[in-house]
Every structure is written in structure tokens, then in C-alpha cells.
Amino acid sequence: MTGNTESTLVICGHGMVSQRLLEALCRERVRPFTRIIVFNGETSAAYNRIQLSLLLAGETTEASLALQQDEWFRNNGIEVCNGEPVVTINREDQTVTTTTGRVQPYTHLVLATGSRPAKPGLPGEDLPGVMTFRDLEDTRILIESAGRHRRAVVVGGGFLGLEAAEGLRQRGMAVTLLHRSSHLLNRQLDRIGGQILQQHMEKRGVNIRTGTAPKALLGRSTVRAVQLDDETLISTDLVLFATGIAPSAELARTAGLECDRGILVDGQLRTSDPAISALGECCQLETTTFGLVEPGYQQAEVLAGILSGSTAEAEYRPADTPTRLKISGVPIFSCGQVGAEGDTESVVWQDHEQNHYCRLLIRNQRLTGAVLLGDTRDGPWYSERILQQDDISQYRDFIAFGKNYCEAAA
């Protein structure tokens, strides 16, 4: 799609992935569109969503979250309309209509509408005081609420729930975290790793209950208690759900684009309408949806090359993306297989004093998974071994000690 005098790219959504697409387009040798317009549902231009937990904890400022300054958009001729989301798409006329009533024609449309927090559908979850932690406005509300209230219950022991619990604790709240699984971060960590992380967080003052889930939220004018599935009641002033996300596909679905859980795309990020692409957390490639920013970044680079014509035949192929986290000051790295299976060997190394833990999973003298807590410096090297599927037999005895030991042995 090469530029002509009338070509207009419209992007719905301005999150981290949308911003990466803009930056990738600006790096292209040939500018594919004479006009780029971004309609943003949030009141702030793209910011570092990963840093919201630091903002909640009082460890950073809103200003530091901005990915680019206003001057960058002006210099690159990009028009960003904050607080003006698209509400309808007219595919026949190739126009979008925003909440202000503006009708904007497009040559090509990109949907980067992200995701929304998923709630479990419990009785009482619409009560005042029941919140989610997804965007900047959520964070502002949580900071304000933490200044007025004393007790909080966080539901969900994944990355977002753990970060929220730690942030509210640092704001001075008494925090109880509930997690349905038997251990924290059950998608990224094995049982022992999850238990080590739980012990660390409990020492810092977060009360954690695993293997349990809320049954109902109780209160009249505001939430007052959480009823657990074993009928236990926990008194609280605030409940925060961090129980996963769902792709924001409503705009596409209403426009008649093919959708499943997310907006269905092919390897070139095309929807069922060739004039419309989708990427990031709102899209779905075959059966896969995307909840991390790194796949969205990869999609943005591919789509920029396709739209500019520089890599018109490129395709996005999902890869096993390593998880790099830092919870309550504890670095975590996870890649590949997490739990052992029948034909898998485990190599475990643990330093109890330093709370360092390493578990490596091996099958047929090839590394298939790595879980690291505390010391994650060798994580990228392990990830490369998993990706390359190297034969590790010559340094198998040293594999838990990392890259330097293994390369010396080889």
C-alpha cells in the first residue's frame, strides 16, 4: 500500500502497541500514508502501562509514563485525538464515526482496541468500591481510594493482582490476596517457585490465601465484605479484580468483521475486510490471543512493513515469549514448559538464604523450560537454548549454574 495524495491511515486505540506501530511506520523509508489519525479512548496519549504498578506504589510519576512527547507527534504529522474513541465503522463507505459525531474517511483502518478486565460475574460485583486495575484512570481511582480506606481484597494471583496488592500495601492498606490456584503465578511458575514468592510477599505484609475464590461480594451502598467459597467472610473497604482480560472486539463485531474471542486475523494481521487490520490484545490468530506486550510489538513491526510495502510478504508467527517480571522486588523469569511431564527431567537449584530458585526442564538432552526467581541473569541464555533446541549433554551437569559454567565445560 504505497502513498498517494489522498491516503489516510486511521488507528483505533493508542496503547503501547499502537504507539510502536506509529514509530515503526515513521522509520520506514517510504511514508505509506499522507495522513495518520489516531482516535484514543483514553484521555492521555500512549503511556507505559507496565509502569502503572510503580505509580500505584508511589514509586514514579504520571509524567514519566509518557512514551512520546506532544512534539514528536507534531513533528511526524500524526494527529492524536484523546478521549475520542470510535463508536462505529462503516465498511462500505470506509469511514469511522467517533463519540463526538466526527465522520472520518480512511484508506486503511487499524484496530488496536486492546482488552478489558474480565470479571467472574459474582453477586455484588457492581457495588461501589469494586474496581479493576487496567489503565491510568483505574490507577488514579485506586490511589485516591487508598488514601480514604484501610482494608483491601485483591482477587487474582497473576502478575497484575500481585502488583496491585503490593502497590496498595505500599499505600498503607491491609491487603488480602485471593487466588483460585494452589500457588501464585501458576501460569509462569511451578509450585515451589510460587510458594517462595508467597513467603516473600507475606513477609512484606500481604495476607495471601491460595486455593480459594470469592463466592459473593456483600454490602448495600458500598462493598463491605467478601464471601469465600468455604463461606468465610472477609471484611473490606475495597475489592480489586485482577482475574484476567478479554479482547475488546465489540467495535469489530458490530461492524461485521469475523470474530471469536478476539478479532480474527491472518499472519499479515488482516481481518476479514482487507482494508482493516488488527493487532495486539484485541486480535486473535487462529486460536491464540495475546495478553503480553511483546507479541504486540512484534505484530506492529510486521504490520508497518506490510503497510509501507517494504516487507509486503512478511507474516507474524507467534513465538514462545519469555516472561520477565519483578514482583515485590523479586526478579522472575519463565520460559517454555513450566510443569514436569512423564518424560521430563527436572534440575533444581535453590539458595534458601537469598531466596534464589532455578528449575530447568529437560527432555531428550534438550532444554524445554526454565523457571528462575531472584537471580534471572541467565534467563535469556536458557531461553535461547529452548528456542534452538541444542543438545546440552556436554554441559548437562553444569546447566543449573548458567551460561559461564556451561560454556567453560563445552
User: Tell me: the pLDDT tens digits for 128-161?
Assistant: 999 999 999 999 999 999 999 999 999 999 999 9
Is the CA virtual torsion 241, 375, 54, 50 positive or negative?
negative
Given a cut of 60, is residue 1 above it in pLDDT? no
pLDDT at 187: 87
Give residue 165's pLDDT band: very low, low, confident or very high (50, 70, 90). Answer: very high
pLDDT at 341: 76
Q: Which residues are 104's β-sheet partners?
A: 96
The helix (run of H) or strand (run of E) holding residue 166 is helix 159-170
Given a cut of 80, is residue 339 above it in pLDDT? no
Give residue 410's pLDDT band: very low, low, confident or very high (50, 70, 90). Answer: low
Average pLDDT over residues 104-117: 97
Residue 30 is given by DSSP the state S
Cell (9 digits) for 194: 510460587
pLDDT at 329: 86
User: Maximum CA pair distance of the chain?
Assistant: 67
Q: Which parts of 278-322 fold into alpha helices (H)?
A: 293-308
Query: Pairing state of beta strands 108-111 and 323-327?
Result: unpaired
Average pLDDT over residues 196-217: 94
Given a cut of 60, is residue 3 above it in pLDDT? no
Given a cut of 80, is residue 2 above it in pLDDT? no
pLDDT tens digits, 358-409: 999 999 999 999 999 999 999 999 999 998 898 988 888 889 888 888 887 7
Given a cut of 80, is residue 308 above it in pLDDT? yes
Angle between helices 293-308 and 16-27 (to 10 degrees): 30
Residue 156 is given by DSSP the state -
Task: With H, G, I as helix, E, B as strand and everything else as coil, classify residue 1.
Answer: coil
Q: Which residues are 259's β-sheet partners?
A: 263
CA distances from 311 to 1, 30, 34, 318 (A): 11, 12, 19, 18
Q: For residues 28 and 308, is the Cβ–Cβ distance under 8 A? A: yes
CA angle 181, 153, 217 (to 5 degrees): 90
pLDDT at 354: 81
Give residue 93's pLDDT band: very low, low, confident or very high (50, 70, 90). Answer: very high
Distant-in-sequence, close-in-space partners of 224: CB < 8 Å, separation ≥ 6:
218, 235, 236, 237
Given a cut of 80, is residue 4 above it in pLDDT? no
CA–CA dist 276, 108 (Å, integer): 6
Average pLDDT, the chain: 92
pLDDT tens digits, 173-206: 999 999 999 999 998 888 999 999 999 999 999 9
Strands across the sheet containing 174-179: 130-132, 238-241, 151-155, 174-179, 207-210
CA–CA dist 176, 32 (Å, integer): 51
Average pLDDT over residues 220-249: 95
- Nearest CA to 11 out of 245, 269, 254, 264 is that of 269
Q: Which residues are 152's β-sheet partners?
A: 175, 238
Given a cut of 60, is residue 286 above it in pLDDT? yes
CA–CA dist 345, 329 (Å, integer): 30
Distant-in-sequence, close-in-space partners of 234: CB < 8 Å, separation ≥ 6:
153, 176, 225, 226, 228
Average pLDDT over residues 263-290: 97
pLDDT at 353: 81
CA–CA dist 344, 43 (Å, integer): 49
CA–CA dist 279, 90 (Å, integer): 20
CA–CA dist 215, 223 (Å, integer): 14
